[in-house]
C-alpha cells in the first residue's frame, strides 16, 4: 500500500491569541509559553466538517491522478461530525460525487487520523478496494466554550486527506507497521458531557454548558507524554529501528511541550521533529496531515523518508504508524 497523495485545508478566518485576550482572561505570553500556539483558523458560521473535508479530499484525489469514481472507500476521522447521523462520510461522498464508494466515520478524537489510516490500509491490503480516501477533519470551534480559558486557546479547525492505494510492487509498500491502544479509564479526562444517549440535549444541558469540551489538562498532558513515547518506542523496537534512524517524527499537535518532552525522552533529535502548532492549534483529526503537508512544503519530508506518526487523544486513544513516505 502507498500514500498516493496528500492535501489539507484550513478555513481562511484566523483567531489570534490577541483575539482570545478579548474573550477570556488570558495573554499571548501565557498561551505561547504553555502551548506554543500563536493562532488558529476557525470557520465562519454555517461551515461544516464535511465542507472542510471536501476541500482537502477533492484536491487529494486529483493529486493522486484519480477521479472521485476511482475511490472505493471513504473513512472520515472526526469528533465533530456535521450531525450525529448520517455519517460525515456519507455527506462527503455525496459532495465529492464518489459514486462507487462506501464508507464510515471513525471516532477516535485526536488519534482519528492514525486510526483511519490504519483501518483504510488494512482494507486496501485485504483487497477490499484499490483506492481509499482517508480524511481527518474537525470543526472544533463548534464544540469549544469560548468562555473557558483552559480549553478555548488550544483548538482550531482544519482538514487533511490522503489517498491510500494498492501498489503493484512490494517496493512501493510504504505503510510498514502500526500500533494502537485504547484506555477507557481516562474517558472523563477529556470529553463532551451532553448530546449523546447519556445526557440527551435539554434546556438543562444547554444552560450548564455541557455541549462543550471539558478537560482535565494536567491528566491529559501526562498521559500524552508517557504514551507518545511508549507507543513510538514499541513500534521502533519491533522493527529493529532506533529513534535516530527516523527521518521525521510527526506527532499529533496538541501542545509544543508535550511533543518536546515525549521526543526528548524517546531520543529523537529535535531537527527530526516537526512542530507547526503555532499556526493551527490543535485541529484534532487534522493535525498530522497538516504537519506532513508543512514538512513536505519546507523540504523536510521527501520520497523514501522513514516517518513515524504518533497520536494520543480523548478516550484515551493511542496510535502510531510507521511508514516510508511515497510521494
Ligand atoms: C491545558 C494546558 C495547556 C494547561 O497548562 P498547564 O501548564 O498544565 O497549566 P495548569 O492547568 O497547571 O494551569 C496553571 C494556571 O494557569 C491558568 N490558566 C489555564 N488556562 C489559562 C489561560 N488560557 N490563560 C491564562 N491562564 C490560564 C490555570 O487556571 C492555572 O491557574 P491557577 O494556578 O491559578 O489555578 C496543559 O495542561 C495541556 O496542554 N494539557 C493537555 C491538553 C491537550 O493536549 N489536549 C488535547 C489532547 S489530544
What local confidence, expressed as pLDDT, does residue 171 receive?
A: 55
Catalytic residue among 41, 90, 110, 293: 110
| Contact present, 313 and 112 (Cβ < 8 Å) | yes
Going by pLDDT thresholds of 50, 70 and 90, the confidence category of residue 169 is low
Domains in the chain: ranges and CATH? 2-172 (3.40.47.10), 175-324 (3.40.47.10)
- Please tell me the residue having the least CA distance from ligand 1 atom 28: 150
What's the CA gap between 197 and 205, in Å, rounded?
13
Share of the chain above pLDDT 90, in %: 96
Whether 282 is a known active-site residue: answer yes
DSSP state letters, 9-35: E--S-EEEHHHHHHHSS--HHHHHHHH
How far is ligand 1, taken at its centre, from the CA of residue 150, in Å?
A: 5
| Contact present, 105 and 311 (Cβ < 8 Å) | no
Contacts (Cβ under 8 Å, ≥6 apart) of 214: 151, 190, 191, 192, 193
Residue 110 DSSP label: G
Q: Residue 82 forms beta bridges with which residues?
A: none
Could you read off the pLDDT of 185-229 as tens digits, one per residue?
999 999 999 999 999 999 999 999 999 999 999 999 999 999 999
> Looking at the predicted structure, is the pLDDT value of residue 254 above 60?
yes
Q: Which of 25, 38, 145, 221 to mutate to test the pocket of ligand 1 (most atoms within 8 A of CB)?
A: 221
Catalytic residue among 17, 255, 276, 282: 282
What's the CA gap between 292 and 287, in Å, rounded?
9
Query: Span 50-78, mean pLDDT?
Result: 98
What's the CA gap between 62 and 269, in Å, rounded?
35
Q: What angle do CA 135, 189, 231 make, to 5 degrees?
A: 60
Whether 110 is a known active-site residue: answer yes
What local confidence, expressed as pLDDT, does residue 174 receive?
A: 84
Q: What is the pTM of this model?
A: 0.97
Query: Span 23-30, mean pLDDT?
Result: 98
Amino acid at each position: 500500500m502507498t500514500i498516493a497523495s496528500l492535501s489539507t485545508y484550513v478555513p481562511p478566518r484566523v483567531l489570534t491569541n490577541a483575539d482570545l485576550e478579548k474573550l477570556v482572561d488570558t495573554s499571548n505570553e501565557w498561551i505561547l509559553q504553555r502551548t506554543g500556539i500563536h493562532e488558529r483558523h476557525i470557520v465562519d458560521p454555517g461551515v461544516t466538517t464535511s465542507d472542510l473535508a471536501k476541500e482537502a479530499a477533492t484536491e487529494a484525489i486529483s493529486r493522486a491522478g484519480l477521479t472521485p469514481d476511482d475511490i472505493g472507500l471513504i473513512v472520515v476521522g472526526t469528533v465533530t461530525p456535521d450531525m450525529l447521523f448520517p455519517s460525515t462520510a456519507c455527506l462527503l461522498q455525496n459532495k465529492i460525487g464518489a459514486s462507487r464508494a462506501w464508507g464510515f466515520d471513525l471516532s477516535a478524537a485526536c488519534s482519528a487520523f492514525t486510526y483511519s489510516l490504519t483501518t483504510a490500509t488494512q482494507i486496501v491490503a485485504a483487497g477490499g478496494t484499490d483506492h481509499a480516501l482517508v480524511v481527518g477533519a474537525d470543526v472544533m470551534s463548534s464544540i469549544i466554550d469560548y468562555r473557558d480559558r483552559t480549553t478555548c486557546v488550544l483548538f482550531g479547525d482544519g482538514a487533511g486527506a490522503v489517498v491510500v492505494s494498492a501498489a503493484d510492487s512490494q517496493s512501493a509498500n510504504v505503510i510498514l507497521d502500526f500500533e494502537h491502544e485504547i484506555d477507557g479509564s481516562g474517558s472523563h479526562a477529556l470529553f463532551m458531557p451532553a448530546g449523546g444517549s447519556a445526557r440527551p440535549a435539554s434546556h438543562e444541558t444547554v444552560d450548564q454548558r455541557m455541549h462543550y469540551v471539558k478537560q482535565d489538562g494536567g491528566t491529559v498532558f501526562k498521559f500524552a507524554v508517557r504514551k507518545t513515547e511508549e507507543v513510538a518506542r514499541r513500534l521502533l523496537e519491533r522493527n529493529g529501528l532506533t529513534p535516530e534512524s527516523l527521518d521525521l517524527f510527526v506527532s499529533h499537535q496538541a501542545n509544543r511541550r508535550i511533543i518536546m518532552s515525549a521526543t526528548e525522552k524517546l531520543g529523537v533529535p529535535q531537527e527530526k521533529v516537526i512542530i507547526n502548532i503555532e499556526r493551527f492549534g490543535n485541529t484534532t483529526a487534522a493535525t498530522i496531515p497538516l504537519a506532513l503537508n508543512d514538512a513536505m512544503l519546507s523540504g523536510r519530508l521527501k520520497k523514501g523518508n522513514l516517518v513515524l506518526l504518533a497520536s494520543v487523544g480523548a478516550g484515551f486513544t493511542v496510535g502510531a504508524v510507521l511508514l516510508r513516505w511515497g510521494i
